Amino acid sequence: MIFFHHNRRRQTLAFSTFLILLVCTGCFRLPVAQRETTPDPCAAIVLAVKEARQLLGRPGNALPLCQSLTRHEFVQIGSELLAAEVTTEELEIESRIFKRIGLIPSDYSYAACIFAAYTREASAFYSPTRNTIFIPNWFDVPFPILVHEAVHFLQREQVDFSNDERFRGIFTDSALALGAMLEGEALNVEDRYLGKLQAVSRQTALPESFRLKPQANACEIPLSIKRLFYFQYDYGALFWPRINRMFPEITRDAILSNPPLSTSEIIDPKAYVQRVKKNKQNGVQAKEGQGCKSRGEGNREIGEYALRSLLETVVDPHTSFLAARGLQSDCITLGRDADSEFIVQSWNLSFDTDHDVQEASKALQVLLSDHDATLTTGKHPRELVINYSNLSTAP
């Protein structure tokens, strides 16, 4: 998983999550006072880790490595690290799913574009596999960004990022949930640090000149994919204060050791707590969602937030919210055609109530009006099934 800091202002809303975690520059407003930046950002890593340890109450002396990169190196190394974490086949699967259900344009070169586009938006990132924070050398990196990345370094002490089914893919449901948990904590710790500063030093965001400018032929991230990516920051930032307010007895360590499995659990922390308590009573600890109970090589769960984002392409945001909020589980099933290429066969969606089924059905009928697919009732009254014709979809 790679922890990026990303160029986006965080909204005040009511990632294999990559083994890189990204710092979202525009996700917050940063101080630009000279005392909060340094010409050599790596020199401040020791202080940033110390600050993060104090804010999290995590004693220790271990430090990450740090490497300062040029603009070219920043994109190149970020893309290389992402490519090492996500296989070509995984990218092909996600591409075919997203194109077939209508989440991204059919002519978007997902596999060729996503890594460079993803990295180009970043302002810093941490790689647990290399235990290294990568910092741009063309800008004086504000100290809060380093604190953010230091939090990801400390998360490595408690979360095993290797060989975990939850990391499969980039924008699967469990990957987004895990990313939201991790990025949300980093943003909240960062906010606590910013809260210690005088208000006058918090009024200016990073200038637009910081951002890496895409080349003329660069790939742009589709809006629907940006929504999924930003989910990790927008909703992750809300997850921690909500769960701390509603369930103050639940510790940080308990959450990190038993993370949310779906975007639904990030959006509604009560659902997360109920699932954890139920599993504890039954003596089990789920490591993946329940939508694809027998997971084939291509079966994937994309979850509530991806369903909402998809429906927003054809109906208004409120209608898409109502249609997706009752989603209990989902599973997109893939097979292979005569040429052994992946094809999307069906999408099973289970809902909490009959009313939820009705809301979803109305919105899905609008979505499918120009798709070569049929919507039917599944084996259970609260299950909908979309069956897709075997159209060829390039990855």
- State the CB neighbour count (10 A cutoff) for residue 258: 17
* Interval 92-144: pLDDT, tens: 899 999 999 999 999 898 888 888 777 776 788 999 889 999 998 888 888 89
Predicted pLDDT at 115: 80
- Dihedrals phi, psi of 269, to nearest 5 degrees: -55, -25
Predicted pLDDT at 12: 31
Question: Facing residues of 387 across strands?
Answer: 346, 374
Q: Which residues of the chain have pLDDT under 70?
A: 1, 4-40, 121, 162-169, 198-218, 283-291, 293-297, 391-395
* Interval 189-240: pLDDT, tens: 999 998 887 544 544 444 444 455 554 455 778 889 889 989 999 999 999 9
Give exposure, 283-307, as e/b (b: 16+ Cβ within 10 Å).
eeeeebbebbeebeebbbbbbbbbb
Cα separation of 393 and 96, whole Å? 6
Cα separation of 349 and 12, whole Å? 30
Question: Facing residues of 20 across strands?
Answer: 2
Retrieve residue 12's tokens.
């005040």
DSSP state of 133: E
Domain boundaries, the chain: 2-208, 303-388
> 303-388: what fold?
3.30.1240
Cα separation of 79 and 112, whole Å? 11
Residue with tokens 């890593």: 45
Retrieve residue 52's tokens.
């993060």
Residues whose CB is less than 8 angstroms from the CB of residue 31 and which lie 6 or more positions away in sequence, other chains included? 142, 143, 144, 194, 197, 201, 202, 204
Cα separation of 360 and 238, whole Å? 26
Predicted pLDDT at 291: 65
DSSP state of 131: T
Q: Of 255, 223, 231, which Cα lies nearest the Cα of 170? A: 231
Residues whose CB is less than 8 angstroms from the CB of residue 130 and which lie 6 or more positions away in sequence, other chains included? 65, 81
Predicted pLDDT at 31: 39
Asked whether 274 and 220 are in contact (CB, 8 A), the reply is: no
Rounded to a whole number of angstroms, the CA Rg of the chain reads 21
Cα separation of 311 and 315, whole Å? 6
Helices (H), the chain: 45-56, 71-85, 88-101, 110-120, 143-155, 173-195, 223-234, 236-246, 252-257, 263-267, 269-281, 303-311, 317-324, 354-367
DSSP state of 9: P
Predicted pLDDT at 6: 63
Q: Of 369, 297, 315, which Cα lies nearest the Cα of 87? A: 297
Residues whose CB is less than 8 angstroms from the CB of residue 260 and which lie 6 or more positions away in sequence, other chains included? 177, 178, 180, 181, 239, 266, 272
Residues whose CB is less than 8 angstroms from the CB of residue 335 and which lie 6 or more positions away in sequence, other chains included? 298, 342, 343, 345
